[in-house]
């Protein structure tokens, strides 16, 4: 920031993007509309560091305050130790920004004492318990506050309205039969494993997946903050701390950047909005194959990297993948009573729309067959409720967090070996299966993690032979190992 002699002018340097250039005009107009004089000197604002691309309009308020500090309206020393963000409208009012929670974290990391930002973002920023957060409505209010002429009460975290208003969730008790699929979804929820449901149309795959949110364990506090940060960066969530595990179900027409994130003003994609929650891809083979490939990195690393012209961006993306598919284009291949109309070539082409490497990252393959008449007409009271299932899931997740600090799906390396040691018959069964099924190294680890979760659900400290057997069964149930 520099105000000096020379021709009057106002420029911003430091590789600004188009939005920052527009900021120049907004700042100029907003300053005069707020009743201050724009300095009639040469003003140069230098955004550092120059090699980082500056994006978005959140720089308006800091630029305006820097200009006013240089011309003596704002005491410069008061800006010390203070973080400022906000977009200005032409009348000098402040508009909300995306990503307030991450900015608050940055301010905390930098050891700043105060953060001044638009009023509507203040509760969100306050939720991490970092520096004092002050919400203001306009440039004039920011100036008065910083100059010490007006008091602004520090914001407190947003109360979560969703928590108190218990919205009704669809219940597993509504689903007739499909015990095998329900059990697999319980394992999925408990350990965070990826699952693919395969079956003819109308067998209840979508219905089952939609009931998963009702049995997921609660978010831990750290998870909750991470999730809120991502949603805030995407401009979603309305400021309150996210308390429920995300459940994202994008349509199969979604674009690659919609799924992975990106765009000219980059925002997190569905893989990141599903962080610590579920990404449900219904009718999996209908998704564009190239689009699906972007799942590979997050499914391995729990994060996604987006390459941009000037830099790369990384968003967290540790989700549980839940997908459904028909076994063939007509949907009836393998059905007990209805003839499939597809040729072998059609079936192969259909199944090959999902690449082998993607299938290798799925932990549980589950057949969801068409219900028999008896199952359809059976007493619905026989089915367990979501509440009963969830109680087991929550207990199993608590065991995992107490043991390794992470859900079983995230176990890796030494932690994996230490917590998933096998003995006796379990070891013998597993060793044989590795040869017989030709398990890849990745598949090997995935079976172990699932076996660990099954043992946790049973309340067992050691993984026993029946836990390994069930885990292996989930890998073999479907013959789409293309």
Ligand X SMILES: Nc1ncnc2c1ncn2[C@@H]1O[C@H](COP(=O)(O)OP(=O)(O)O)[C@@H](O)[C@H]1O
Q: Which residues bind ligand X (CB under 6 A)?
A: 175-178, 199, 201-207, 371
Q: CB–CB of 450/409 below 8 Å?
A: no
In the bound state with Mg ion, the residue whose beta carbon lies nearer, of 160 and 206, is 206
- Partner interacting with residue 121 (select from ligand X, Mg ion, none; CB below 5-8 Å by kind): none
CB of 175 to ligand X, least distance (A): 5
Residue 305 makes contact with Mg ion by CB under 5 A: no
In the bound state with ligand X, the residue whose beta carbon lies nearer, of 182 and 446, is 182
- Partner interacting with residue 408 (select from ligand X, Mg ion, none; CB below 5-8 Å by kind): none
Closest chain position to ligand X (CB): 204
CB of 362 to Mg ion, least distance (A): 18
In the bound state with ligand X, the residue whose beta carbon lies nearer, of 100 and 325, is 325
Residue 430: alpha-carbon gap to chain centroid: 34
Q: CB–CB of 374/161 below 8 Å?
A: no
CB of 197 to ligand X, least distance (A): 8
Residue 174: alpha-carbon gap to chain centroid: 28
Q: CB–CB of 325/285 below 8 Å?
A: yes
In the bound state with ligand X, the residue whose beta carbon lies nearer, of 342 and 409, is 342
Exposed/middle/buried for residue 119 (C-beta within 10 Å: 0-12, 13-18, 19+) = middle
In the bound state with Mg ion, the residue whose beta carbon lies nearer, of 326 and 419, is 326
In the bound state with Mg ion, the residue whose beta carbon lies nearer, of 209 and 463, is 209
CB of 201 to ligand X, least distance (A): 4
CB of 203 to Mg ion, least distance (A): 9
- DSSP line for 19-85: HHHHHHHHHHHHHHHTT-PPPSSEEEEE-SSTTSPB-SGGGHHHHHHHHHHHTTSS-GGGGTTEEE-
CB of 167 to ligand X, least distance (A): 19
Say which DSSP state 352 is in: T
Residue 170 makes contact with Mg ion by CB under 5 A: no
CB of 274 to ligand X, least distance (A): 20
Q: Phi then psi for 81, rounded to 5 degrees?
A: 70, 15
- Partner interacting with residue 98 (select from ligand X, Mg ion, none; CB below 5-8 Å by kind): none
Residue 297 makes contact with Mg ion by CB under 5 A: no
- Helix residue ranges, H only, 239-372: 256-260, 270-273, 289-293, 296-301, 344-351, 356-360
CB of 324 to Mg ion, least distance (A): 6
d(CA 18, CA 36): 25
Cβ count within 10 A of residue 301 = 13
Residue-wise over 189-223: b if at least 16 C-beta within 10 A, else e? bbbbbbbbbbbbeebbbbbbbbbbbbbbbebeeeb
d(CA 24, CA 402): 52
Binding residues with Mg ion: total (CB under 5 A): 1
CB of 283 to ligand X, least distance (A): 8
CB of 335 to ligand X, least distance (A): 12
d(CA 228, CA 221): 11
- Partner interacting with residue 177 (select from Mg ion, ligand X, none; CB below 5-8 Å by kind): ligand X
Tell me the Cα Rg of the chain: 27
In the bound state with Mg ion, the residue whose beta carbon lies nearer, of 226 and 282, is 282
Which residue is listed with tokens 């308006």? 60
In the bound state with ligand X, the residue whose beta carbon lies nearer, of 138 and 198, is 198
In the bound state with ligand X, the residue whose beta carbon lies nearer, of 206 and 385, is 206
Say which DSSP state 131 is in: S
In the bound state with Mg ion, the residue whose beta carbon lies nearer, of 116 and 281, is 281
CB of 288 to ligand X, least distance (A): 20
- Asked whether the CA dihedral 176, 177, 178, 179 is positive or negative, the reply is positive
Q: Find the Cα–Cα–Cα–Cα dihedral 219, 222, 224, 226, rounded to 10°.
A: -130
In the bound state with ligand X, the residue whose beta carbon lies nearer, of 211 and 318, is 211
Q: Which stretch binds Mg ion (CB under 5 A): 56-64, 80-88, 202-210, 299-307?
A: 202-210
x/- mask, Mg ion, residues 205-244, rule CB under 5 A, reads: -x--------------------------------------
Cβ count within 10 A of residue 438 = 9
- Partner interacting with residue 75 (select from Mg ion, ligand X, none; CB below 5-8 Å by kind): none
- 206 by DSSP, 3-state: which? helix
x/- mask, Mg ion, residues 401-440, rule CB under 5 A, reads: ----------------------------------------
- Partner interacting with residue 203 (select from ligand X, Mg ion, none; CB below 5-8 Å by kind): ligand X
Binding site for Mg ion (CB under 5 A): 206
């Amino acid at each position: 920031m520099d105000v000096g002699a020379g021709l009057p002018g106002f420029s911003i340097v430091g590789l600004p993007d188009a939005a920052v250039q527009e900021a120049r005009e907004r700042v100029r107009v907003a300053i005069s509309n707020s009743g201050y004089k724009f300095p009639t000197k040469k003003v140069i604002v230098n955004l550092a560091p120059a090699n980082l691309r500056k994006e978005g309009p959140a720089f308006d308020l800091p630029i305006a305050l820097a200009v006013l500090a240089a011309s003596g309206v704002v005491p410069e020393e008061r800006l010390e130790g203070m973080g400022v963000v906000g977009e200005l409208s032409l009348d000098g009012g402040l508009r909300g920004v995306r990503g307030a929670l991450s900015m608050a974290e940055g301010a905390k990391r930098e050891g700043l004492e105060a953060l001044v930002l638009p009023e509507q973002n203040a509760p969100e920023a306050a939720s991490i318990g970092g520096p004092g957060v002050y919400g203001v409505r306009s440039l004039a209010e920011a100036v008065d506050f910083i100059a010490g002429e007006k008091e602004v009460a520090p914001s407190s975290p947003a109360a979560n309205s969703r928590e108190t208003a218990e919205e009704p969730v669809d219940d597993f008790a509504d689903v007739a039969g499909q015990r095998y699929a329900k059990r697999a979804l319980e394992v999925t929820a408990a350990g965070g494993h990826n699952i693919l449901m395969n079956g003819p149309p109308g067998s209840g795959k979508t219905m089952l997946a939609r009931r998963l949110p009702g049995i997921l364990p609660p978010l831990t506090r750290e998870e909750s903050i991470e999730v809120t940060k991502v949603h805030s960066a995407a401009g979603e969530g309305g400021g309150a701390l996210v308390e429920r595990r995300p459940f994202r179900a994008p349509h199969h027409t979604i674009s690659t950047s919609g799924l992975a994130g990106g765009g000219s003003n980059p925002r997190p994609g569905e893989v990141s909005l599903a962080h610590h929650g579920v990404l449900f891809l219904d009718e999996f083979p209908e998704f564009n194959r190239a689009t699906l490939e972007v799942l590979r990195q997050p499914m391995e690393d729990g994060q996604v990297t987006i390459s941009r012209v000037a830099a790369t961006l990384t968003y967290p993306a540790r989700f549980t993948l839940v997908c459904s598919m028909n076994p063939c284009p007509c949907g009836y291949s393998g059905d007990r009573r209805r003839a499939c109309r597809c040729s072998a070539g059609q079936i192969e082409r259909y199944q090959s729309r999902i690449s082998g490497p993607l299938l290798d990252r799925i932990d549980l393959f589950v057949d969801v067959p068409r219900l028999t008449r008896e199952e359809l007409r059976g007493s619905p009271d026989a089915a367990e409720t979501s509440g009963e299932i969830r109680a087991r899931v929550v207990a199993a997740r608590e065991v995992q967090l107490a043991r390794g600090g992470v859900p079983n799906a995230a176990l890796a390396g030494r932690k994996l070996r230490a917590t998933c040691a096998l003995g006796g018959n379990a070891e013998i069964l597993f060793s044989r299966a590795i040869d017989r099924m030709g398990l890849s190294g990745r598949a090997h680890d995935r079976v172990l993690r699932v076996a660990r979760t099954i043992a946790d659900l049973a309340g067992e400290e050691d993984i026993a032979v029946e836990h390994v057997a069930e885990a292996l069964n989930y890998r073999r149930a479907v013959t789409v190992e293309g």
